[in-house]
């Protein structure tokens, strides 16, 4: 065979020759402990309710949620993030079910803690959007705008009732200025220094939330562009990170994950606390829909997306495939 000079002088393909070789030199590995399962629990239903826009995901009953939590423990994942869906008639302008000790989220937190104890991190979404009749993440002023500081008062109360209900971790997700500091103070005031805060540090105003709105029965009209981040901005995320860390965040998160891997990488590079990313409903539904059409290999697509998020710097990933992926990794 004719050779041309000394090329190829280097042969990176030697490290790709067999599955064992590729596994040995892999720079990033997924592990069941990386995953957190988002889960929805709906008040007043006797059977799990399928979410049409998210094939394979349901709004749980209290009993089916406990079963899902036990399955999460068995799969070896790290946590479950709970979202409560109250009866429509109970929603109001202030999101009262979010601070009612007998609201569906608080009841579910107690249920899951009783079921799994400390074998699984029980996490709670700390936001008003599921419980308000207007669907926004905060209290509205007399002009219909989200009132940042009035909302913080509600978040403080939510943090306390969620901690009392058994949350190991609270996740303030409303993107209100000062929310982490207020939540930390509220928890400390009731002696719950042990409850950690997962800050939704960079939460973008995204089209990919669409299926989630069905999952939580959202009443939103309009959009959340006045408080969620503009997709065009990157440096702003680092400012939000600095503020959240200063205010006492124990962990930080980027949401969505896939469309914002550059932001995730920037945050992971400078954060001195663990970094998570939320692979949101639209990311999930796109893969499921394309796979149902036969347009891509479902399992390969799932693990490629998860690996990309891990490679970008996420220590933990919230994903609706958490249990399924963990079991396949273990197998």
Active site residues per annotation? 203, 255
How many Å apart are CA 5 and CA 322, to the nearest integer? 50
Q: Three-class SS string for 71-138?
A: HHHHHCCCEEEEEEECCHHHCECCCHHHCCCCCHHHHHHHHHHHHHCCCCEEEEEECCCCCECCCCCC
C-alpha 209/C-alpha 213 separation (Å) is 7
| DSSP conformational letter for 195 | S
Residue that has been written with the tokens 């939540």 in this structure:
183
Q: Burial of 283 by CB count in 10 Å (0-12 exposed, 13-18 middle, 19+ buried)?
A: buried
Q: Is the peptide bond before 323 cis (omega within 30 degrees of 0)?
A: no
> What residues pair up with 140 in beta bridges, in sequence order?
146
């Amino acid at each position: 065979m004719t050779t041309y000079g000394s090329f190829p002088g280097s042969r990176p393909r030697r490290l790709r020759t067999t599955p064992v070789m590729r596994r040995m030199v892999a720079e990033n590995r997924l592990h069941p402990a990386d995953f957190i399962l988002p889960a929805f629990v709906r008040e007043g239903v006797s059977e799990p309710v399928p979410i049409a826009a998210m094939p394979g995901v349901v709004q749980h009953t209290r009993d089916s949620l406990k079963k899902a939590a036990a399955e999460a423990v068995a799969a070896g994942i790290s946590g479950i993030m709970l979202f409560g869906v109250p009866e429509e008639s109970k929603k109001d302008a202030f999101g009262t079910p979010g601070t009612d000790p007998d609201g569906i989220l608080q009841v579910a937190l107690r249920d899951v803690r009783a079921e799994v104890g400390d074998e699984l991190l029980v996490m709670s979404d700390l936001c008003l959007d599921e419980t308000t009749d207007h669907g926004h993440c905060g209290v509205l002023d007399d002009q219909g705008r989200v009132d940042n500081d009035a909302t913080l008062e509600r978040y403080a109360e939510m943090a306390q009732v969620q901690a009392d209900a058994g949350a190991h971790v609270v996740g303030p997700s409303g993107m209100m200025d000062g929310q982490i500091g207020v939540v930390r103070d509220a928890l400390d005031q009731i002696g719950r220094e042990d409850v950690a805060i997962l800050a939704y540090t960079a939460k973008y105003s995204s089209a990919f939330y669409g299926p989630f709105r069905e999952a939580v029965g959202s009443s939103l009209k309009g959009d959340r562009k006045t408080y969620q981040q503009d997709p065009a901005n990157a440096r702003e995320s680092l400012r939000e990170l600095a503020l959240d860390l200063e205010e006492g965040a124990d962990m930080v998160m980027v949401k969505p994950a896939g469309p914002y891997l550059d932001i995730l990488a920037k945050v992971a590079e400078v954060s001195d606390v663990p970094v998570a990313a939320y692979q949101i409903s639209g990311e999930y539904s796109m893969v499921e829909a394309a796979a149902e059409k036969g347009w891509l290999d479902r399992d390969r697509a799932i693990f490629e997306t998860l690996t990309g998020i891990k490679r970008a710097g996420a220590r933990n990933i919230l994903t609706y495939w958490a249990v399924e992926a963990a079991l396949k990794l273990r197998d």
